[in-house]
Chain A
Amino acid sequence: MRIACPHCGERSLDEFLYSGDATVTRPDFASPTAMDEYVAYTFERANPPGLHRELWYHAAGCHAWLVVTRNVSTHAITKVELARDAAPAAKASTKDAV
């Protein structure tokens, strides 16, 4: 398994740090059910077989956060994007800023 970083090209796995499921989004702390939502956000994961969108950090490279789409049953990587563009949390905050 090697990850094709959009900045650095295909690199060895040991240059990257893994940070889990990229599809969870930080809830609104002012929501009336914020407590339950934060428990789900912090601890609960779908953990599916097959395709998984996940966060990787190119720690020994360009320091970019990436969203990698990978089949966790075969380790085949189908897509690597910059988290800045792809992460749902990033999208939400950009929308807020606009």
Chain B
Amino acid sequence: MPNTRYSIFSVLRESLRGHTGWGPAWRDAEPKTDYDVVIVGGGGHGLATAYYLAKNHGPLRIAVVEKGWIGGGNVGRNTTIVRSNYLLPGNIPFYELSMKLWEGLEQDLNYNAMVSQRGVLNLYHSDAQRDAFARRGNSMRLHGVDAELLDQAGVRKLVPFLNFDNARFPVQGGLLQRRGGTVRHDAVAWGYARAADGLGVDIIQNCEVKGFKREGGRVVGVETSRGTIGAKKVAISVAGSSSRVTAMAGLRLPIESHVLQAFVTEAIKPFIDGVVTFGAGHFYISQSDKGGLVFGGDLDGYNSYAQRGNMPVVEDVVEGGMALMPRIGRVRLLRHWGGIMDMSMDGSPIIDLTPIEGLYLNAGWCYGGFKATPAAGYCFAHLIARDAPHPVAAAYRLDRFATGRAIDEKGMGPQPNLH
């Protein structure tokens, strides 16, 4: 079904017709008996994978099977931040590709995802932290990514209302990536779903994968709550539940599932321009276009599939917020929620073939999956189509722990709750 192309003309036409002519953004597809590729998981990554597979590697018969509904998982639970301020060579080119794809996303998808490059500012509070940020900034610039190291005066110009002279954690300055910012997360899911559907991808909702169909070791399809679906290739993209899904194929992953909480306040007038992170604790905040302050902090730190957290971390996050910008203390909290993260053993993701023929894996996104959505889809599609990794994602191998090639951005070792 070719869906309407959105433009100023279609908006004008529909405004004259009382908005009665808009069709659904994608078809509610029924599962067929077989496909070339079945993607398990209709989140941002799964839908982006389907879109780039159809666009760059087609023609292919592609289905996305989703247990719940589109936009109901982690793609709607994150804090919408996009950035590419990484340190290690295995990470920077990948996240920079993602940043570039974000920059062209709305034109590419013909969908308003509210990509807003309002800047991401990481504050530093000690000489040692300044040196570490300078190193990271230099590493970014060597890879062609924008980074500016600001002193305290530079930060004061951008966000004058911080508690600069906090006795324990004075704000000394910050590392700024101006091209970073926020993107409306639901629109990313909807935009990719609509664009993939426009290229013939079947998006099958309320369809839970219960097992894999095997033939002589090879995966040749999925058993679902809506029947068996055959597939030449099955691609798993279910971050948060990766271990549960791969367990059905007898595969143990270097991943623990952890809960991360996020918060949003009542809407107030524009007050914070960009994304600001507190370097002395773990607190990050931005203001949504609706006016709510969106913020979060650390993982709760224990294995969880419960999609909700506990009070100690709530306290810790708001203490961080109050230390950094005391003026938010009188704003009332509107909602808070939890999402389940694939915490990998080195804090970096996995986009790789698995030891099982016909089974492909995109997992381990820790709490950095949203910003990676376009590049993860792009590179995973490349891997599925060609059975070889995309050059910028070549380091995200499943066997890197055994071969000593872990990509440990924070230098924490195999402790998933510390990444």
- B310 → chain A closest CB, angstroms: 5
- A20-B256, A47-B256 as given contacts; A42 in contact with B401, CB under 8 Å: yes
0/1 string, A30-61, CB within 8 A of B gives 1: 00000010011011111111001010000000
Assembled-state Cα–Cα distance A13/B310 (Å): 8
0/1 string, B247-266, CB within 8 A of A gives 1: 10000111111000000000
Q: Which of B369-419 contact A (CB under 8 A)?
A: 401-402, 414-417
**Inter-subunit contact B306/A47 (CB<8 Å):** no
**Inter-subunit contact A54/B302 (CB<8 Å):** yes
- A78 → chain B closest CB, angstroms: 15
**Inter-subunit contact B247/A48 (CB<8 Å):** yes
Query: Which residues of B have CB within 8 Å of A21?
Result: 256, 303
Query: Which residues of A have CB within 8 Å of B316?
Result: 14
Instruction: Determine chain B's interface SS by DSSP, over half rule.
Output: mixed
B304 at the interface (CB under 8 A from A): yes
**Inter-subunit contact B303/A20 (CB<8 Å):** yes
Instruction: Determine chain A's interface SS by DSSP, over half rule.
Output: mixed
B6 at the interface (CB under 8 A from A): no
Assembled-state Cα–Cα distance A18/B313 (Å): 14
- A14-B312, A40-B252, A46-B247 as given contacts; A72 in contact with B414, CB under 8 Å: no
Assembled-state Cα–Cα distance A36/B316 (Å): 39
A74 at the interface (CB under 8 A from B): yes
Determine which of A1, A45, A74 lies in contact with B252 in the assembled complex, contact meaning CB atoms within 8 Å: A45
A75 at the interface (CB under 8 A from B): yes
Determine which of A14, A20, A44, A74 lies in contact with B253 in the assembled complex, contact meaning CB atoms within 8 Å: A44
Assembled-state Cα–Cα distance A18/B258 (Å): 12
A93 at the interface (CB under 8 A from B): no
**Inter-subunit contact B401/A45 (CB<8 Å):** no
**Inter-subunit contact A1/B310 (CB<8 Å):** yes
**Inter-subunit contact B345/A43 (CB<8 Å):** yes
Residue of chain A at shortest CB distance from B418: A18
Can you list 19 A-B contacts (CB < 8 A)? A12-B312, A18-B301, A18-B302, A20-B256, A20-B303, A36-B402, A43-B402, A45-B243, A45-B254, A46-B252, A47-B303, A48-B247, A54-B302, A54-B303, A72-B304, A73-B306, A74-B306, A75-B304, A75-B310
